[in-house]
Amino acid sequence: MSYKPSAPSVRLDQLAAWRALLEHRDEIAGQHMRDWFAGAGANARVEQFSLHAAGLYLDYSKNRITDKTRTLLAHLARECHVPAKRDAMWAGEHVNVTEDRAALHVALRAPQGAAFRDAAGDVSAGVHQTLARMRAFSERVRDGRWLGATGKRIRHLVNVGIGGSDLGPRMVCDALAVYGRAELTAHFIANIDPTELARTLPTLDPQTTLVVVCSKTFTTLETMTNARTIRAWFLANGIPESALGKHFVAVSTNADEATRFGIDRENVFEFGEWVGGRYSLWSSVGLIIMLYLGPQHFDALLAGAHAMDEHFRTAPLEANMPVLLGLLGIWYRNFFDAQTLSIAPYTDALQKLPPYLQQLDMESNGKSVQIDGTPVAWQTAPIIWGEPGTNGQHAYFQMLHQGTTLVPVDFIAVLEPQYEGAAYLEHHRKLLANCFAQSEALLQGGSMATSEQAGSPLGAQRRFDGNRPSNTIVIDKLTPERLGALIALYEHKIFVQAAVWDINPFDQWGVELGKTLCRAIEPELLDPDTLRPGAHDASTASLIRLAGEALRRRKG
Ligand code: F6P
């Protein structure tokens, strides 16, 4: 299915809505959000700028927006053909133009009976066959029918993967650990740096360990190096080569390479090329999630994402949560020059959400050419960063409140604690109080100066200007279903922004150059004498020599 993107015939920054938004920004420049909350209209503002979708509640009233802003932003989305681009993605068109692929992650969480297609035909049947295989396998492992080489039950699950083959599953397993079983632990090995391996391997019993080698390509340097080291660890610890199949399974689109590594073909869980790495946790890349949490919880994760998909597909733009989040991001990125977006989940369970969103957002939209290859003349992906609250409050929130840079914040609040107990309830109450206090302080500003300090230098230090924007996403309980909806919300938000910026969110050419250069440098580190004059800039060459000599000393 060839994709003909409906790019605007006029440049984005020449569109009527864009120009109107510029004017409108200047119109409201002198206004303070707190005035919009004053008086009789305050509750109406919250009603006007909040909505429920897929079990999530978004309050976006603490933004520098009026009704007119929202109307103009929705107009911009229409002028940029966001609905048509969304429908093209749903229809399996090759929206990933540079790789000539569909981007059908929504098909992965659609229920039985859905009929998604790409150029090669139906994809939904394959999705459900793989899910059925994953379920059968997970159940065998979880109920002890799948045993290790020495007849022992599996107790340790290890996912070996990086980027999209790590961050999503790692984040979900961590967020939903309360749904796991005490007798099964999940571990993740990603980096080529051996620290994670060196710390994890001694905690594992090879006889009870199952490794999932997870790589779309099955050629990624980090994953393949780590997988080989773990393979050697099994062999060195009494598991014979003939029985390694009891301890290794693979997740990949490249079954041939996985079998060459030594994994039985029936233990390779495949997925389609049309699943992008950072959009893949819903596919067999989520096998570790299913093994750890059980098929039922994995199904709930998919159901939550599907509910958000349906909302995104059908809700009007002005009442569409991912569209609104995307457009608000554009408002600050392109009209207020906000360079970053801070993600502040008020629960440690979501501590891995910011790094997950870094890949999702920045690998998707960190682009500077449009679909047709011409340079963009506007800013694209913001820098994504953040830490769970309240920790962030005692670190960088100072800058959010009083720094010179505008940093929009997404607060994520969970109403019910994950852990039972009166003492924990008190913690949770304090946690939520902090979350709401921070967004209130950012909005309202104010002064902590005493009357004597007013007008003094100390009084100035103790002033908060406020008028700093934030969204608050409220989740009743951090269940698999709600987490699925939350992740899908961000996936679609990022898609909306890419559609407006006219960039392809589904490729990642920017990661390739470094990989190529690394292949040349590694042998030079092994033998610095192979360094050819002029092969590198002087700085890089001297670093290679420095490290190469240190490594040589270590070897000797
Ligand atoms: O280097 C970036 C990247 O290609 C990501 O896009 C991807 O998620 C990651 O590497 C891992 O790739 P693979 O799943 O093929 O090992």
Report the share of the chain in percent with pLDDT over 70: 98
Across 351-373, average pLDDT: 97
C-alpha to C-alpha distance for 125 and 116, rounded to whole angstroms:
9
Q: Active-site residues: which are they?
A: 363, 394, 515
- Output the residue whose Cα is nearest ligand 1's atom 16: 215
Whether 31 lines ligand 1, by a CB cut-off of 6 Å, is no
Report whether 305 contacts 487 (CB < 8 A). yes
Mutate to test the pocket of ligand 1, among 105, 188, 220 (most ligand atoms within 8 A of CB): 220
Whether 391 lines ligand 1, by a CB cut-off of 6 Å, is no
| Neighbour-count burial for 496-505, b at 16+ CB within 10 Å, e otherwise | bbbbbbbbbb
Centroid of ligand 1 to alpha carbon of 291 (angstroms): 22
The mean of the pLDDT values for the chain is 96
Mutate to test the pocket of ligand 1, among 257, 288, 511, 518 (most ligand atoms within 8 A of CB): 511
Whether 398 lines ligand 1, by a CB cut-off of 6 Å, is no
Q: How confident is the model at residue 556 (pLDDT cuts 50, 70, 90)?
A: low
State the helix-helix crossing angle for 67-79 and 321-335, rounded to 10 degrees: 100
Radius of gyration of the chain (CA): 25
| Neighbour-count burial for 324-334, b at 16+ CB within 10 Å, e otherwise | bbbbbbbbbbb
Whether 277 lines ligand 1, by a CB cut-off of 6 Å, is yes
**Encoded tokens for 214:** 């997870």
pLDDT 10s digits, 485-517: 999 999 999 999 999 999 999 999 999 999 999
C-alpha to C-alpha distance for 440 and 472, rounded to whole angstroms:
11
Mutate to test the pocket of ligand 1, among 214, 279, 508 (most ligand atoms within 8 A of CB): 508
pLDDT 10s digits, 449-479: 888 998 899 988 999 999 999 999 999 999 9
Ligand 1 nearest-atom number relative to CA 277: 8
Centroid of ligand 1 to alpha carbon of 217 (angstroms): 8
Whether 208 lines ligand 1, by a CB cut-off of 6 Å, is no
C-alpha to C-alpha distance for 441 and 148, rounded to whole angstroms:
55
Whether 366 lines ligand 1, by a CB cut-off of 6 Å, is no
Q: Please tell me the predicted confidence (pLDDT) of residue 8.
A: 63
């998919």: which residue's tokens? 302
Q: How confident is the model at residue 1 (pLDDT cuts 50, 70, 90)?
A: low
pLDDT 10s digits, 34-67: 999 997 777 899 999 999 999 999 999 999 999 9
Beta strands in 215-338 (DSSP E): 248-252, 268-270
Q: Please tell me the predicted confidence (pLDDT) of residue 291.
A: 98
Query: How many Cα atoms sit within 13 Å of 508 on the Cβ side?
Result: 16
Q: Please tell me the predicted confidence (pLDDT) of residue 330.
A: 98
Whether 253 lines ligand 1, by a CB cut-off of 6 Å, is no
pLDDT 10s digits, 309-350: 999 999 999 999 999 999 999 999 999 999 999 999 999 999
C-alpha to C-alpha distance for 80 and 323, rounded to whole angstroms:
12
State the pairing for strand pair 56-59/470-475: antiparallel
Report whether 269 contacts 284 (CB < 8 A). yes
Q: How confident is the model at residue 247 (pLDDT cuts 50, 70, 90)?
A: very high
Q: Is the pTM of this model over 0.75?
A: yes
Across 7-11, average pLDDT: 74
Centroid of ligand 1 to alpha carbon of 514 (angstroms): 13
Q: How confident is the model at residue 7 (pLDDT cuts 50, 70, 90)?
A: low
**Encoded tokens for 1:** 């299915």
Report whether 58 contacts 321 (CB < 8 A). yes
Fill in the amino acid letter for 6.
Answer: S
CB atoms within 10 A of CB 76: 23
Q: Closest Cα to residue 60, out of 71, 70, 72?
A: 70
